[in-house]
Amino acid sequence: MSKTIWGVSAHFHDAGLSVIKDGKIVFGAHSERYSGKKHDKGLHIDMVKEAMQYGMPDVVAWYEKPWKKNIRKMVTGEYAYVGLEGSPAKYMKQFGITAPVKTFDHHYSHAAAGAFTGPMNMGTVVVLDAIGEFLTCSVWEYDDRRGLKHLFNSKYPHSFGLLYSAFTLRCNLKPMDEEYITMGMAGWGKPIYKDKIKKDFIASYYPFELKKNVHEGLGNYLPGADVMDIAASIQAVAEEFVVEYTKKAMAHTNHGNNHLIYQGGVALNCVANSHIFGHADSVWIMPNPGDCGSSLGAALAEHGKRVKWPGPYIGTNIDNPYPVDAIITELDANKIVGVASGRAEFGPRALGHRSLLADPRGPEIKDQVNAIKRRQKFRPFAPAILKEHVNEYFDICTDDSPYMQFVGTCKKPHEFPAIIHVDGTSRVQTVGKDDSPGFRMLLEKWYEKTGCPMLLNTSLNIRGEPMVNTREDADRFEAKYGIKVCS
């Protein structure tokens, strides 16, 4: 019997909508890309209409239990969370959706997003984020026969995600938004405060326990310290914590293997992720591990079993053949080009369908792209490389990194200055023969023409706005920055 499930994440931050139809993932999208408002917390009517193309839902799966979160608010007296205005069912009726609504625990939605999309038929699931209803860290045992079994957790206010966000604020950045910039800043500093941070804030890694509630920030902690050193120090703590927590979590389960499935917002820290591989046999991180991705997690929780992962290109479609020749022509002429073609990426990183691409070899390219995007000059860019060449150019923990989830050290940094961070690392995207066919063909032709198997790849967006979604968005980008966007 056919069934259409909509998964919804909304009313906190990064709203998303996903659709599973007849046991297949057919759609996944970010509300912000329709509204133009970064981290938009509400569903957008155009996204809802696009989802309707796959059929009206038989059931809506909601990514958390709002009543539990509101209980936490009352019990703890913290008011950072803006409660849901009415029930999820009433909210969906505003969009003409009258299907029954089922709610799932926040961390269960995260866990399902990883377990039910991954290549493993069993493994340890770790969820690390800022906060769900009460949970902040959780460990689950997964296998195909019995599904997900909850083993272990930490609860608010004991949250590593909140700690990292508090240090993001201390670095004069925006918490719950610019943690990735904190990670980039870390390469410019020295982790001289790592031990002090651990001593002042952390009572235990596993279970994770804080010595104080940091939800409202740190105040003027370490007055006079260089923010680059503060960023480097909290990043060093993050790397140590993620390794220790995932190691102990894997030891906690009964599989006798070290297959790790890792979800939650902390899983976006690709530098910390890279340290896991020395301790795990395999690692799966669904490429949208934060709250928007929990829209898919909720739909999968309702579906109740593993599905075939279709890849990240499940968003809005710009239905044209991938413009390989036009991109290469523009790269030849101007070194930098945009591309908006095919279905948009589900996840926070551009992976070749909504990307700004550039020749990584020129010494001036990095500054030019930063100027176009109005970014801080200290921030790094990522390379997309033909998978079979990755070990030739990078010392990396895995030769399979299709979603920019891990970093490696470039073996030939003088040849590719545009994609090298100050610490010599790069957040690598490998492009294999089974990944995006159009993007793969582009890299193959670029390599054939130039002998260079990679391109600089960053998101196609106007500063302060989400990634381009439609051709109309691409036209605005082209007009604003004078950079050709090929479709």
Structural domain includes residue 114: no
Res. 76 pLDDT band, cuts 50 70 90: confident
DSSP string, 32-94: HHHH--TT--S--HHHHHHHHTT---SEEEESS-HHHHHHHHHHH----S---SS-HHHHHHT
- When the pLDDT of each residue in the chain is averaged and rounded to a whole number, the result is 94
| Same domain flag for 359 and 272 | no
Q: What percentage of residues in the chain have a pLDDT greater than 70? A: 97
pLDDT value, residue 79: 53
113 located within any domain: no
Same domain, residue pair 299 and 176: no
What CATH number has the domain bearing residue 427? Answer: 3.90.870.20
- 3-state secondary structure at position 420: coil
Nearest CA among 431, 358, 423, 426 for reference residue 401: 431
pLDDT of residue 278: 85
Distance between CA atoms of residues 319 and 342, nearest Å: 6
Residue 21 lies in a domain: yes
Q: Quote the DSSP letter at residue 226.
A: -
Same domain, 84 and 135: no
> Distance between CA 236 and CA 379 in Å, rounded?
18
Domain contains 409: yes
Q: Which residues, other chains included, contact 229 with Cβ-Cβ below 8 Å and sequence gap of 6+?
A: 189, 190, 191, 192, 193
Confidence of residue 72 (pLDDT cuts 50, 70, 90): confident
Question: How do strand 425-431 and strand 382-386 relate by DSSP bridges?
Answer: parallel
Does 277 fall in a domain? Answer: yes
**Structural domain ending residue among the three candidates 246, 270, 285:** 285
For residue 427, give the H/E element and its range.
Answer: strand 425-431
Tens digits of residue pLDDT in 168-202 = 999 999 999 999 999 999 999 999 999 999 999 99
487: closest CA among 358, 343, 341? Answer: 341
Instruction: Report pTM.
Output: 0.96
**CATH number, domain with residue 194:** 3.30.420.40
Are the C-beta atoms of 113 and 346 separated by less than 8 Å? Answer: no
Distance CA(291)–CA(14), nearest Å, equals 6
In a domain, 446, yes or no: yes
Amino acid identity, position 55: G
- 393 & 462 share domain: yes
Contact 337, 357 (CB under 8 A): yes
- What is the total count of domains within the chain? 3
* Amino acid code (one letter) for 476: R
**Alpha carbons 301 and 318: distance in angstroms, whole number:** 30
| Residue span of the structural domain in which 98 resides | 4-108+292-308
User: Is the residue at 78 inside a domain?
Assistant: yes
Q: Which residues contact 303 (CB under 8 A, 6 or more apart)?
A: 5, 20, 23, 116
Tell me, what DSSP letter sits at residue 389?
A: G
Note the pLDDT of residue 80: 45
**Average pLDDT rounded to a whole number, residues 34-63:** 97
CB-based contact 205:245 (threshold 8 Å): yes
Q: Are 90 and 132 members of one domain?
A: no
Average pLDDT on 427-439 reads: 97
Selection from 347, 460, 366 nearest residue 418 by Cα: 366
CA 234 vs CA 173, 183, 201, 400, 435: distances in Å: 14, 9, 11, 27, 34
Residue 437's H or E segment, with its range, is helix 437-450
In a domain, 213, yes or no: yes
User: 194 in helix, strand or coil?
Assistant: helix
pLDDT at 83 over 50: no
- pLDDT computed for residue 372 by the predictor: 82
What pLDDT, in 10s, does the model give residues 288-322?
A: 999 999 999 999 999 999 999 999 999 999 999 99
User: Quick one: pLDDT at residue 77?
Assistant: 66
Q: Between 365 and 355, whose confidence is greater?
A: 355
Characterize the bridge pairing of strands 135-143 and 122-128: antiparallel
Same domain, 99 and 134: no
Burial class (CB in 10 A: 0-12, 13-18, 19+), 371: exposed
Secondary structure of residue 256 in the 3-state scheme: coil
- Could you tell me if 368 and 481 lie in one domain? yes
Are 243 and 325 in a shared domain? no
pLDDT tens string 201-243: 999 999 999 999 999 999 999 999 999 999 999 999 999 999 9
User: How high is the pLDDT of residue 81?
Assistant: 44
Instruction: Please give the average per-residue pLDDT across 27-35, as a whole number.
Output: 98
DSSP 8-state class, residue 362: -
Residue 94 sits in the same domain as residue 140: no
Residue, of 226 and 83, whose pLDDT is higher: 226
* CA–CA distance, 478 with 8 (Å, rounded to integer): 32
DSSP 152-187: EEEETT--HHHHHHHHHHHTTS-TTT-HHHHHHHHT
In terms of domains, do 477 and 411 share one?
yes
CA distance linking residue 415 with residue 423, whole number of Å: 16
Pair 300, 280 in one domain: no
Same domain, 85 and 229: no
d(CA 300, CA 117): 9
